């Protein structure tokens, strides 16, 4: 019978040799990095790596070992590239920074646009983030708000990007790649939906309910208890309240905030209609200029990677090797490319940090498209 301890001793010896060879290989990689720094040659050479991996595969014996050797050296090469990117950041030419750091963003004497109407949650998020001394106005669509900032008619736009119950606002993610705007702040707002009706209405009168699609989704359990009600989606929750107020039909109700009810003189017919007590919505603050406050601690990026096995891991691993904590990842279909996706990632950090610079340099080199959406 095979002696387990003897097998382990042999493995330990081989591992020790592998560590020494790995360090020897990394030393040579540093010399390669020095050459590339002086010549301006790119770190990643896909054709060279593919040829090398194929050569290694042929040297292994058996299908399992062929694939294993190929995977092992893919990782070794990825680690080597990360070291080269690190040295390039430390000793290579300094890249021109697109983002400007400021001590703090102005929160008064500015013009702010939000989607919806007064009483909407976007309006509440705007009031929570900015001071009272601002000029504000509303537009109907998310796109309209971005247009206002892009055209310079507004300094900032306040838009919802995700809800803890219903998930992301997909339209916002798509628009972030269409417009050259930047996230400069965020505001988390607790969402407390109520059912609103006319002052003379009773709960038993209701046969139709209006709200934003997210509002309807967040109150799904409550609405399932009233399946006879017709559900109608509108542009936002406050618009739903406004619609009920204007139609003056006692059979119509709106899912919106208590503030919207007070604004449009409606009565609360039911409270606590969202079963999730921790229902919150995250709003982003968008600006035309790429700026960030000196105490910013979250970075958002979007990127597209080659449609090949392992590419997403290779891109995200730059965060691992630089000790950065990824807090969120989302994907959206790329228009015109069936079953290919654009990724949106949030991670902790500040654009001044060397670890962030290292990671972004590596991610940019290994993606076909990368945009820093903001640091806030």
* Domain identity same for 149 and 37: no
The number of folded domains in the chain is 4
* Domain identity same for 158 and 231: no
Given 89, 165, 237, 281, the catalytic residue: 281
pTM of the predicted model as reported, rounded to 2 decimal places: 0.80
CA-nearest of 369, 363, 375, 254 to 315 is 363
Which value, to the nearest 10 degrees, does the dihedral of the CA atoms of residues 38, 43, 48, 52 take?
Answer: 110
Neighbouring C-beta atoms of residue 265, cutoff 10 Å = 11
> What is the predicted pLDDT for the residue at 89?
82
* Domain identity same for 52 and 13: yes
* Domain identity same for 29 and 174: no
CATH number (domain holding residue 73) = 1.20.59.10
Listed residues 94, 113, 138: the one ending a domain = 94
* Domain identity same for 86 and 172: no
For residue 275, is it within any domain?
no
DSSP codes, 297-326: -EEEEEEE--SSTTHHHHHHHHHHHTT--E
* Domain identity same for 252 and 307: no
* Domain identity same for 133 and 32: no
Residue 13 has pLDDT above 80, yes or no: yes
Lowest mean pLDDT among 27-31, 202-206, 224-228, 271-275: 271-275
Query: What does the pLDDT look like over 155-206, one tens digit per residue?
Result: 999 999 999 988 999 999 999 999 999 999 999 999 899 999 999 999 999 9
* Contact between 315 and 329 (Cβ < 8 Å): no
For residue 302, is it within any domain?
yes
For residue 138, is it within any domain?
yes
* Domain identity same for 141 and 286: yes
Percent over 70 (pLDDT), the chain: 99
Measure the CA–CA gap between 104 and 342, rounded to whole angstroms. Answer: 31
Which are the contacts of 236, defined by CB distance < 8 A and separation ≥ 6? Answer: 115, 116, 117, 120, 121, 122, 212
Query: What does the pLDDT look like over 102-127, one tens digit per residue?
Result: 999 999 999 999 998 888 899 999 99
Q: Does residue 64 carry a catalytic annotation?
A: no
Residue 365 has pLDDT above 90, yes or no: no
Q: Does residue 165 carry a catalytic annotation?
A: no
Query: What does the pLDDT look like over 301-315, one tens digit per residue?
Result: 999 998 888 889 989
Listed residues 243, 259, 293: the one ending a domain = 293
* Domain identity same for 1 and 115: no
Give me the residues paired with residue 298 across strands: 348
CA-nearest of 362, 366, 345, 349 to 176 is 345
- Inter-CA distances, 228 with 127, 148, 169, 244, Å: 37, 41, 28, 18
* Domain identity same for 286 and 319: no
Given 99, 263, 283, 343, the catalytic residue: 283
* Domain identity same for 69 and 117: no
Q: Name the more confident of 278 and 283.
A: 283
Residue 65 has pLDDT above 90, yes or no: yes
Query: Measured at the alpha carbon of residue 280, what is the angle toward residues 141 and 259, in degrees to the nearest 5?
Result: 65
Q: How confident is the model at residue 96 (pLDDT cuts 50, 70, 90)?
A: low
Which are the contacts of 132, defined by CB distance < 8 A and separation ≥ 6? Answer: 108
CATH number (domain holding residue 108) = 3.40.190.10
For 310, the domain range is 296-376
| Beta strands, E only, 29-175 | 100-102, 111-115, 135-139, 156-163, 167-168
* Contact between 244 and 254 (Cβ < 8 Å): yes
């Amino acid at each position: 019978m095979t002696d387990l301890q003897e097998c382990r001793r042999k493995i330990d010896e081989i591992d020790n040799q592998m560590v020494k060879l790995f360090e020897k290989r990394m030393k040579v990689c540093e010399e390669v990095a020095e050459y590339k720094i002086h010549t301006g040659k790119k770190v990643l050479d896909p054709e060279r790596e593919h040829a090398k991996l194929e050569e290694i595969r042929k040297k292994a014996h058996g299908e399992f070992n062929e694939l294993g050797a190929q995977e092992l050296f893919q990782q070794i090469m990825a680690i080597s590239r990360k070291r080269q990117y690190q040295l390039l950041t430390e000793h290579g030419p300094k890249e021109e920074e697109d983002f400007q750091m400021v001590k703090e963003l102005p929160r008064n004497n500015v013009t702010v646009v939000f989607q919806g109407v007064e009483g909407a949650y976007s309006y509440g998020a705007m009031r929570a983030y900015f001071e009272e001394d601002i000029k504000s106005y509303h537009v109907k669509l998310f796109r309209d708000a971005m247009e206002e900032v892009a055209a310079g008619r507004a300094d900032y736009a306040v838009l919802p990007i995700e809800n803890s119950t219903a998930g992301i606002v997909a339209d916002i993610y798509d628009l972030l790649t269409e417009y050259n705007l930047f996230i400069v702040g965020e505001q988390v707002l607790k969402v407390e939906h109520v059912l609103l009706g006319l002052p003379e209405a009773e709960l038993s009168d209701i046969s139709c309910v209006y709200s934003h699609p997210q509002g309807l989704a967040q109150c799904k359990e409550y609405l399932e208890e009233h399946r006879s009600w017709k559900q109608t989606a509108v542009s936002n929750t406050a618009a739903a309240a406004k619609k009920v107020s204007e139609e003056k039909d006692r059979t119509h109700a709106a899912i919106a905030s208590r503030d919207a009810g007070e604004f449009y003189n409606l009565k609360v017919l039911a409270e606590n209609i969202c079963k999730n007590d921790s229902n919150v919505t995250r709003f982003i603050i968008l600006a035309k200029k790429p700026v960030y406050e000196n105490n910013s601690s979250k970075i958002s990026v979007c990127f597209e990677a080659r449609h090949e096995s392992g590419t997403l891991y290779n891109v995200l691993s730059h965060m691992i090797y630089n000790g950065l904590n990824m807090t969120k990842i989302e994907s959206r279909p790329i228009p015109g490319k069936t079953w290919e996706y654009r990724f949106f990632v949030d991670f902790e950090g500040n654009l001044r940090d060397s670890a962030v610079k290292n990671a972004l340099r590596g991610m940019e080199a290994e993606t076909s498209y990368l945009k820093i959406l903001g640091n806030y």
